[in-house]
Structure 1
Amino acid sequence: MKDLSLRLGGIILAGGESRRFGSPKALARLKDRFFIEYAIQAIEESTKDIVIISHNSIKSELNRVTTMPIIEDLPQYKGKGPLAGIATGINYLKCNWYIVLPCDTPNITKSEIMSLVKHIKLDVDAIIPVVKGRIQPLIGVYHSNVVSEIIEILESDHYKMMKLLDQLRVTYVPFEDEQPFQNINDLEEFQKLNDK
């Protein structure tokens, strides 16, 4: 049964300095667009309520690329990884469900996002892709009620996404094609992507 009071929001985790990559990944340019624009495009067909969680150091540059709201982690959770970003996004957008997407998966499209969204139902807390057997917790759809578990984990100084999933009712959605879910972590991966 679908949640009839469904209100869907989008949380894009834009990170900060991206040390392994050498520059902020959200502002990396692939073909004619920035990574952050690919993330927005993947989500915006499902919802226009989108917030970007970012580091203050790149906020002004991101503001030149998009009109979406850009905010920093809640002060008490700053620097505590993606769980802090998700908690911040849930706190900012008042929705029932949230699409969560990192900015460094530029191959993901609205098709994969909608494949997750269609699994929303009342007795589930999270909908997570499993790509060739590998769980991808940074890409998913989370119910607003997960925020209490996230805060509990953050306050215990554990920042692992899998610790959260272990506490939730999760629908795992299998995908065979790895390409849409590929994280671009370094310049070598970026170059390969640009050469395609």
Structure 2
Amino acid sequence: MKLLGAILAGGQARRFGSDKAHARYEGFRLIDRVAEALSAQCDAVIVCGREEPGYTCVPDRPAPDLGPLGGLNAALHYAEEQGFDAVLSAGCDIPNLPPDLAEILAAETLSLHRSAIVQSQPVVGLWPVAIGKELEAFLADDGRALYGFAEEAGARMVRFDPPLMNINRPEDLA
């Protein structure tokens, strides 16, 4: 399976108060930690929803400010154009992605026609490229909820223990 890693980084970080992707956790920028974790499991990594020097970047699709689904939609279409089979997505604010994340989620999908998401962090998921048209239609019908799309797409929820971190406020970095 040819896998594209997608860092969803188009949010405005209102609760954080500054550029969350550049905040440091254990000495490294959050976006770099996520990129490193995805790079170890994927054939290539992109950043969705922002320009980030040093990375291949794609704008949210079909427009900015659609939340994580805009980034995921962009990633799925980019993946299809570039010949990937699936997208492993993660937000830029989850610094403790497991080294076997793709393997665990792939085991839960049963086939490339299903998706799998992390129960407490639905932005972390494994999505087959074929689901891109379904997401495009969901967004065209004003769908914006990631859980709503995941349910419509028949995504399996996978629980991690301990749960994955989610950095939303500066104090979460402690």
- Please give the range of the TM-score, normalised by the shorter of the 2 chains: 0.7 to 0.9
1:150 pairs with 2:135: yes
Distance in 1 (CA, whole Å) between partners of 2:135 and 2:11 is 21
Partner Cα separation in structure 2 for residue 170 and residue 158 of structure 1: 16
Per-residue deviation, 1:81: 0.9
Q: TM-score, normalised on structure 2? A: 0.88
Partner of residue 88 from structure 1, selected from 74, 78, 83 = 74
Structure 1, unpaired ranges of 5+:
1-5
Higher gyration radius (CA) = 1
Residue 127 of structure 1 is matched in structure 2 by 116
Aligned to 1:53: 48
- Answer whether contact 1:51 1:68 (CA < 8 A) is retained: yes
Alignment counterpart, residue 56 of structure 2, candidates 69, 74, 95: 69
Aligned residues: 171
Once residues 49 and 23 of structure 2 are traced to their aligned partners in structure 1, the CA distance between those partners, rounded to angstroms, is 14
CA contact (8 A) 2:6 2:48 kept: yes
Q: Map 1:152-171 to 2 at 5 A.
A: 152-171=137-156
Paired residue for 2:29, among 31, 34, 40?
34
Query: SS in structure 2 opposite 1:108?
Result: coil
Give the TM-score taking structure 1 as reference length.
0.79
Distance 1:38 1:138 in 2: 16
C-alpha distance in 2 between matches for 1:30 and 1:84: 26
Question: 1:25 — aligned with what?
Answer: 20
Q: Deviations over 1:63-95 (max 9, x none)?
A: 0xxx32012213x33211111111111112231
Task: Give the AA of the match of 1:30.
Answer: Y
Q: CA deviation at 1:106?
A: 0.7
C-alpha separation between the residues in 1 aligned to 2:98 and 2:106? 13
Once residues 168 and 124 of structure 2 are traced to their aligned partners in structure 1, the CA distance between those partners, rounded to angstroms, is 15
Equivalent residue letter for 2:87? Y
Unaligned runs of 5+ in 2: none
